[in-house]
Amino acid sequence: MFGTILKKTFWNTFDHLGTLILLNLAWFFVSVPWLLGGFFAVRVLTGMLGVTGLVAGAAAWILSVWLNPASLWVLSIASDWADYQSLSRGEMWGLLRARLLTGLWLSIAAFAIALILGVNGAFYLSLSGGFHWIGLLLAGVTIWALVALMSLGYHLGLILARDRSAGVRSALRHALYVALAMPATSFFLGIGTLIGAGLLVLTQVGIPLAAMTFPSMFAATGERELFKRLLPPEERDPVADRTEEARTFRDLIKPWDMER
């Protein structure tokens, strides 16, 4: 499955490389308030709460960026391209308007919930005396709640991007189902997306050029393949799946022989 995801991600990125870079530039300028706000929140929380504040602040920052309007816009375009659909320029701008308000309040809500969990975790860890072990137990529960929130937020953004008619409540139910039905695959897709984005951020030049669009292409392709695995066996078409992307890496050497 992961080989299929990587292959399709590569070719979808190759097909739309120039547009992805331009999209990332637009995403970067729109997302500046979330990027800067999250950065300062991490610094403040780390200074106040130490490691607990760093973890909670980073989680809140990642969630708010992932669910902001510009990110939902990029994920929507990436989802259509992962389905091998074409989009006109007007359709692309229409996708930005479709989830504008949803992205605004979702990013703020996710940021606030992650911060509340982080503050609670720091409080539980500070308990001493006879409450020390209880505090450790509750802090562990808080950490797992933060992990669950990250997983739900990851799938929520992708589901809202794939299904433009879905409401947030319906998308949350689907996100919970996907995370529970295939937890290992969901985990590795989320970690892969995060690591890819992190590596691009470390290059610095990748922040304005590729930090959102390239990981989004991987995430949208992975979510599509994940949904196909959740279909009943009688509805799956392995032959169509294998022939959907017929190109191989040899086509990079001889592009005139490409089948697509």
Contacts of residue 120, defined as CB under 8 A and 6 or more positions apart, other chains included, come to: 138, 142
Task: Write the CA distances from 12 to 86, 95, 152, integer angstroms.
Answer: 11, 19, 25
Q: By C-alpha distance, which of 219, 222, 201, 202 is closest to 211?
A: 201
Q: Which residues of 43-56 are buried (b: 16+ CB within 10 A; e: fewer)?
A: eebbeebeebbbbb
In a domain, 129, yes or no: yes
Q: How many domains does the chain have?
A: 1
Domain of 30, in residue numbers:
16-230
111 pLDDT above the threshold of 90: yes
Rg (Cα) of the chain, in Å, rounded?
A: 20
pLDDT digits (tens, 9 = 90+) for 133-184: 888 899 889 989 999 999 999 999 999 998 888 888 999 999 999 988 888 8
Q: How confident is the model at residue 230 (pLDDT cuts 50, 70, 90)?
A: confident
Structure confidence at residue 244 (pLDDT): 66
Dist CA 7 CA 233 (whole Å): 23
Structure confidence at residue 253 (pLDDT): 66
In a domain, 8, yes or no: no
Dist CA 105 CA 250 (whole Å): 46
Q: How many residues does the chain have?
A: 260
Is there a contact between 45 and 118 (Cβ–Cβ < 8 Å)? yes
In a domain, 260, yes or no: no
pLDDT digits (tens, 9 = 90+) for 196-208: 999 999 988 888 9
In a domain, 255, yes or no: no
In a domain, 11, yes or no: no
In a domain, 241, yes or no: no
This prediction has a pTM of 0.88
In terms of C-beta density within 10 A (0-12 exposed, 13-18 middle, 19 or more buried), how is residue 150 classed? middle
In a domain, 240, yes or no: no
Structure confidence at residue 131 (pLDDT): 76
> Tokens 């990250």 — which residue?
150
Q: How confident is the model at residue 67 (pLDDT cuts 50, 70, 90)?
A: very high
Mean pLDDT confidence for 203-219: 91
Share the mean pLDDT of the chain: 86
In a domain, 257, yes or no: no
Q: By C-alpha distance, which of 162, 139, 72, 76 is closest to 110?
A: 72
Q: Which residues of 188-205 are buried (b: 16+ CB within 10 A; e: fewer)?
A: ebbebbbebbeebeeeee
